[in-house]
Amino acid sequence: MSRRPSSARAGRSSSATSARELLCELLRLFYTKNWVSGTGGGICGMGEPGKVLVAPTGVHKERVLPADLFVVDAKSGEIVSRPRNPALRLSECSPIFCEIIRSKGAGSVMHSHALSAVLAGDLAEGGDRVVFQQLEMLKGIKGATNQDKHTVAIIDNTGYEPDLLHQMRKVLADSVFAKSYCILVRDHGAYIWGADVWETKRHAEIYHFLCEGAVARAGGPSARHRHST
> pLDDT (tens digit, 9 = 90+) per residue, 36-83?
999 999 999 999 899 999 999 999 999 999 999 999 999 999 999 999
8 A C-beta contact, residue 217 and residue 135: no
Cα–Cα dist 30/11, whole Å:
28
Count the neighbouring beta carbons within 10 Å of the beta carbon of residue 86. Answer: 7
What does the DSSP assignment read for 155-197? Answer: E---SSGGGGHHHHHHHHT-GGGTT--EEEETTTEEEEEESSH
pLDDT at 17: 78
Coil, helix or strand for 138? helix
The sign of the CA dihedral 141, 202, 133, 150 is positive
Q: Answer yes or no: CATH 3.40.225.10 is held by domain 7-228.
A: yes
State the CB neighbour count (10 A cutoff) for residue 42: 29
Catalytic residue among 25, 48, 136, 161: 136
> How do residues 167-219 score in pLDDT, each as one tens digit?
999 999 999 999 999 999 999 999 999 999 999 999 999 999 999 999 999 99
Average pLDDT of the chain? 91
The count of other CB atoms within 10 Å of the CB of residue 41 is 23
How do 70-73 and 56-57 pair as beta strands? unpaired
Concerning whether 136 is annotated as a catalytic residue, the answer is: yes
- The whole-number pLDDT of residue 14 equals 56
pLDDT at 2: 42
What are the residue ranges spanned by the domains of the chain?
Answer: 7-228
The answer to whether residue 130 scores a pLDDT higher than 60 is yes
